[in-house]
Amino acid sequence: MLLITAVACQKQNTTPTPTSTQTVQGLAALPLSAVAPADNPTNPAKVDLGRALFWDPVLSGGRDVSCATCHHPVTGYADGLDLAIGENGQV
């Protein structure tokens, strides 16, 4: 019982942290879509090239892993890992 009381009486960290609501509200300030620079406009050919490169494994060192291998559209193009695992298991 004494141990529980001692732990409960320890000084707590009182530094405020953002809540989920504050975080989401902060994201609302971001633009809804990317803005292409005036001197480099988006066009269908560039979009097709980007898509082809993203899904092409030939760009990797071993020619067997594309960007999409880890960064899949279903996961919002994230890999879901704290530390990315690179080619040959490198972290």
> Would residue 89 count as lying in a domain?
yes
- With 80 as the cut, is the pLDDT of residue 75 above it? yes
pLDDT number for residue 52: 97
**Structure token digits, residue 14:** 């009182």
Q: Using CA atoms, how far apart are residues 83 and 73, in angstroms rounded to an integer?
A: 19
Q: Residue-wise over 41-75: b if at least 16 C-beta within 10 A, else e? A: eeeeeeeeeeeeeeeeeeeeeeeebbbeebeeeee
Nearest to 84 by CA among 59, 65, 63: 65
pLDDT at 88 over 70: yes
75 inside domain: yes
87 in a structural domain? yes
Quick check: is 57 in a domain? Answer: yes
| Domain-embedded: residue 12 | no
Domain that holds residue 61: 43-91
Overall average pLDDT of the 59-80 stretch:
88
Q: Is residue 35 part of a domain?
A: no
| pTM tops 0.85, yes or no | no
89, 62 in Cβ contact below 8 A? no
User: What would the pLDDT profile of 8-56 be if each residue is shown by its tens digit?
Assistant: 566 666 666 666 666 667 767 777 787 889 999 999 999 999 999 999 9
Residue 76: pLDDT band (50, 70, 90) is confident
The whole-angstrom separation of Cα 55 and Cα 76 is: 15
pLDDT of residue 28: 74
| 28 within domain boundaries | no
Per the structure, how many domains does the chain have? 1
